Amino acid sequence: MTLTFDSLRPPCPHMDDTHAEWRRSVRGFVDKEIMPFVDEWEEAGRIPRDLFKKAKTAGLLGIGYPTEYGGEGTEFDRFHGIVTSEELARIGAGGISSALMIHGIGLPPIMALGSEEMKTEIGRAVLSGEKQISLGITEPSAGSDVAQLKTKAVKDGNGWRVNGSKTYITGGMTSKWLTTAVRTGGEGMGGISLLLIDLESDGVSRTELPKQGWWASDTATIHFDDVFVPAENLIGEQDKGFYGIMANFNGERLGMAAQAAASARVCAEEAAAWAQERKTFGKRLADHQVIRHKLASMAQRIWATTTMLDTYAWHVQNGNTPVAELAMLKVQATETLEFCAREAMQILGGAGFIRGHRVERIYREVRVMAIGGGSEEIMRDLAARQLSV
């Protein structure tokens, strides 16, 4: 058995011919429209705007969203989403997929909780590829501890006045809208609401943040100085936004786990191919026992993690909310990624250290995967509390 991206994915009993066909479609789009330009876009720090339109035409932007709001339809399930995450991870440049698919965390709260007018206007603009929407939760003083956020919204006539800031916002420099967590009530989780903020409003300013990885996606700190937000831009009920945020996090963690596990497969594929070609001390790297053991350990972790991913994706698809399990899955997947990225770099040696190599890029992106969407420490503590430990 040759270790390749495809062979490293264990069979999934919940996937059928529709998932295989979707994989072929996404892979064709990625190979034609993205792979030849990865290095160019990484160095530029942006993906081109026309990529969004191409992704719309390919059905990528609207997967799982209702057709009346510009989507491709809701017959797509969680496993079609996992296929999407996996095929985008093949790029080996997480910034491209995070920039292209940032609406995947910014738009769901609107679709779940927003007014009909909001869903129609924002959904169609975003899913057509015309505009972007990002998610604004993290603040300079509050990251995973969402209940402590400080950005404040105060009633002002027929709207709100917002003051504060959000940071580490993917797409923050280029998005039109921000689904924003604000404090409209007292302290703690009970005083949080969600507002849709137009980032072209008076009083909004943005500061771009240079990063270790994900170069092709722009990341920003966004400041709100007495920004007026119309009353109709409230997403869901006032002071009940915390629960919408938590529901959104579960979907984000599932997607990140799929991306991390697939990125680990990229690392193993690259390392295995190199080990077949590279010779040291008169024989191939793959003929050295220590290298074979490294590759076997990578495969072991990838298969275990992907099986775990499929199990909990099935639970989510069937209406369950396995909070503890999703938290542990996210940790499992990012630890697998970290292990495989390290071992692949060791096998590749100097070749993996050169800019432009998939493993080099993935290695730089390990930390954002381990921290974003809930750090390993927060995830373990969340799981422990859910399990009454």
CATH (one of 1.10.540.10, 3.40.50.2300, 1.20.58.100, 3.40.1180.10) for 17-127: 1.10.540.10
218, pLDDT greater than 70: yes
252 is catalytic: yes
What are the domain boundaries of the chain?
A: 17-127, 133-239, 243-386
The token pair at 342 is: 């390290």
The set of residues, in sequence order, having a beta carbon less than 8 Å from that of 311 and lying 6+ positions away, is none
Among 42, 72, 252, 338, the one annotated catalytic: 252
Mean of all residue pLDDT scores within the chain? 94
**Percent of the chain clearing pLDDT 90 (strictly above):** 87
Q: Does domain 243-386 have CATH number 1.10.3720.10?
A: no
92: left (phi over 0), alpha (psi -120 to 50) or beta: left
pTM check: above 0.85: yes
pLDDT in tens, 96-137: 999 999 999 999 999 999 999 999 999 999 999 999 999 999
Q: What DSSP line would sit under 167-222, residue for residue?
A: EEEETTTT-SEEEEEEE-SSSSGGGEEEEEEETTSTTEEEEE---SS-TTS-EEEE
Find out whether 198 and 187 touch, Cβ atoms under 8 Å: no
CATH architecture of 133-239: Beta Barrel (2.40)
Rounded-to-integer distance, Cα 151 and Cα 140, Å: 10
Of 369, 357, 206, give the one whose Cα is nearest residue 274.
357
Check for a shared fold between 17-127 and 243-386. Answer: no
